[in-house]
Chain A
Amino acid sequence: MPALEVHNLKKNFGDVQAVKDISFSVEPKEFFGLLGPNGAGKTTTIRMITGVLKPDAGSVMIEGIDLRSNFLDAKMKMGVIPEVGNIYPDLSARENIELVGRFYGLSKATREERADKLLTDLGLKERADDYARKFSKGMRQRVSIACAMVHEPPILILDEPTEGLDVMSRRLIVDKVKEMNRNGSTVILTTHNIEEASRLCQRVCIVNKGSIVAIDSPEHLRRTMEKMQAVEVGFDRKVEQAWFLSDDISRVEQCGDKWRFYTEDPDKAIEKIVKVKEAQGLKILSMSTTGPTLEDVFVKLCEVP
């Protein structure tokens, strides 16, 4: 039985179709990513999955439980960090975590034990009893993730959990989420950080303008974009883009101190680059071939300028 099944989900806000017809399923223990540009419908989809928003049509099944007819039982299975999901600034880190434990019916002993472990794991032990209003953004987000995990949910849904965080907080959160996944939780992550999604997710679903444009493993998605192979070259001096444009090189982009040449055929592209090098008297300092990144796939599918 899938951990999450979404069938024909639709949501309109007035005349705007925020989510058009989204269906997908997530297997137990899978690390699943939901990607898309701003306004693509990711957060609306997540809000419908977590029961915050009622869909106009379609259904959501959480471990086989219909969210519409068994609302509370289905929500008991989830741990959620919503897009706007702060913690209570007038409570301490420990009180915030224990409050959430109460919502999920944990006993006092279990709440205390899990709060202690999570505070230690997330580097907040020393500040456990301080009011959350005194915390930095990264610390608040660490408490937030602890709140989502305190009842050890089978499904963890994280909407942009590492957005705008410092490296330390980001790493602690990612490590903790990976640990939950290793221990058997299904993770559904929305993120703008394509590199992070590529590194963490077994499958990603790319959403644009309220519809799914691709759903597959990052590796498979990259392979479908063979045209987006590239040759990356470092030269000894400044070059001009126009020198390299030809039938075999579709796009030229400067990446830091290197140049990236997009091509369907790296062999022919290299031939062209070498010809230009000789004609212009350039010296090649480095050269490597790369496949398309998940970001390239994302940009292509979503037509992000």
Chain B
Amino acid sequence: MNWNVYLRGVSVVARKDMRIYYRKAPVFIFGLILPTFLFFAFFVGRELDINKFFPGFLAMSLFFTSSSVGPLIVPWEKQQGTFERLLSYPLSISAIVLGDVIAGAIFGLLISAIVGTLGILFIPITVTNLALIILAFVLGNLCFSGLGVLLSSPGGKAPANIMMLAALVRFPLIFVSGIFIPLSEMTGPAKLITYCSPLTYLVDLLNQSMGQAYVFSWGMDLLVLFGFMALFVLAAAVVLRRMSLKGL
């Protein structure tokens, strides 16, 4: 393997995605507008302790933004007829997947950094461990960007269908990940379901780094998030390799 060529491919794919797909309407709608409306729907005008729920809101915002770019890229490229050309460049499928994941993660990182900074400046939020927040941001964005890319990898060339599929997967997750009901207050089967959601561990990590009640140790949260990230990226590469010509 020529690693120079491989890493250059990852970097150029990510740059290309950032240049082209950050400005697409579905990314704005599903990545920015939707979490903002969810915030208004659930948090504004209610007697809630904003300090207690802010980590959950921050995790939800990160989850939506980082997973909004990935589902769009491959179907959009297949629809435009640019995907086969991309495959003919000195690139492997895994380099394309990694480039797409990085582009989605950087988008999520930028937006969650803005939301986090606004929270600290205007609410104000207590930060007990900044390094942990940074780690949570990086790993969380990579993990959920990987989920976004995985969702698009089996699909054909209709971005609208993939975005709908992505919404079907993403919406249930925010209700079973301790965003609206704190993890520490959950009991019984509901608690078991939350353990299966990768978003749970991000919420827990942010709770911990902002002085709120948490369930797992930070090491456990990081490890599980890393595991989910690796799983999503590997699965996306395997599925895309098998389905790369579908819809060309």
A interface residues (Cβ-Cβ under 8 A, vs B): 47, 50-53, 70-73, 75-76, 78, 80-91, 95, 99-100, 102-105, 144, 147
B146 CB to closest chain A CB (Å) equals: 23
Helix, strand, loop or mixed for chain B's interface? Answer: helix
Instruction: Given A88-B82, A89-B80, A91-B19, answer yes or no on A52-B5 (Cβ-Cβ < 8 Å).
Output: no
Question: Which of the candidate stretches B36-44, B86-94, B205-213 sits at the interface with the other chain?
Answer: B86-94
Check B20 against A91 for contact (C-beta < 8 Å): yes
On chain A, the residues within 8 Å of B92 by CB distance are 71-72
On chain B, the residues within 8 Å of A100 by CB distance are 89
On chain A, the residues within 8 Å of B25 by CB distance are none
Would you list which residues of chain B between 95 and 125 have a CB under 8 Å from chain A?
none
Check A102 against B88 for contact (C-beta < 8 Å): no
A82 interface neighbour in B1, B80, B84, Cβ under 8 Å: B84
Would you list which residues of chain B between 151 and 202 have a CB under 8 Å from chain A?
none
Check A53 against B88 for contact (C-beta < 8 Å): no
CA gap between A85 and B16 in the complex, in Å: 16
On chain A, the residues within 8 Å of B23 by CB distance are 90
On chain B, the residues within 8 Å of A87 by CB distance are 82, 85
B8 interface neighbour in A71, A99, A103, Cβ under 8 Å: A103
A154 CB to closest chain B CB (Å) equals: 14
- Interface contact tally, CB-CB below 8 A: 84
B241, closest chain A residue (CB): A54
A155 CB to closest chain B CB (Å) equals: 12
Check B84 against A83 for contact (C-beta < 8 Å): yes
Beyond the given pairs A85-B81, A105-B8, 13 more chain A to chain B contacts, judged by CB atoms under 8 angstroms and listed by A's residue number, are: A52-B84, A72-B6, A75-B91, A82-B88, A85-B84, A86-B81, A86-B85, A91-B19, A95-B19, A99-B12, A102-B12, A104-B90, A105-B4
Check A72 against B5 for contact (C-beta < 8 Å): yes
A140, closest chain B residue (CB): B81
Check B15 against A84 for contact (C-beta < 8 Å): no
Q: Mark B58-99, 1 if CB is under 8 A from A, else 0.
A: 000000000000000000000011111101111110000000
CA gap between A100 and B245 in the complex, in Å: 21
A96, closest chain B residue (CB): B82
- Is B55 in the interface zone, CB < 8 Å from A? no
Check A86 against B80 for contact (C-beta < 8 Å): yes
A68 CB to closest chain B CB (Å) equals: 12
Instruction: Given A103-B89, A103-B90, A103-B91, answer yes or no on A76-B84 (Cβ-Cβ < 8 Å).
Output: no
CA gap between A95 and B89 in the complex, in Å: 16
On chain B, the residues within 8 Å of A80 by CB distance are 85, 88
Instruction: Given A84-B248, A86-B80, A86-B82, answer yes or no on A52-B19 (Cβ-Cβ < 8 Å).
Output: no
A88 interface neighbour in B9, B20, B89, Cβ under 8 Å: B20
B9 CB to closest chain A CB (Å) equals: 7
CA gap between A81 and B123 in the complex, in Å: 55
CA gap between A88 and B79 in the complex, in Å: 11
The 3 closest A-B pairs by CB, nearest first: A86-B81, A80-B88, A75-B90
Sampled A-B contacts (21; CB under 8 Å) = A52-B87, A52-B88, A53-B245, A70-B2, A72-B1, A72-B2, A72-B92, A81-B85, A82-B87, A83-B84, A85-B82, A86-B80, A88-B16, A89-B80, A90-B20, A91-B20, A99-B12, A103-B90, A104-B89, A104-B90, A105-B8
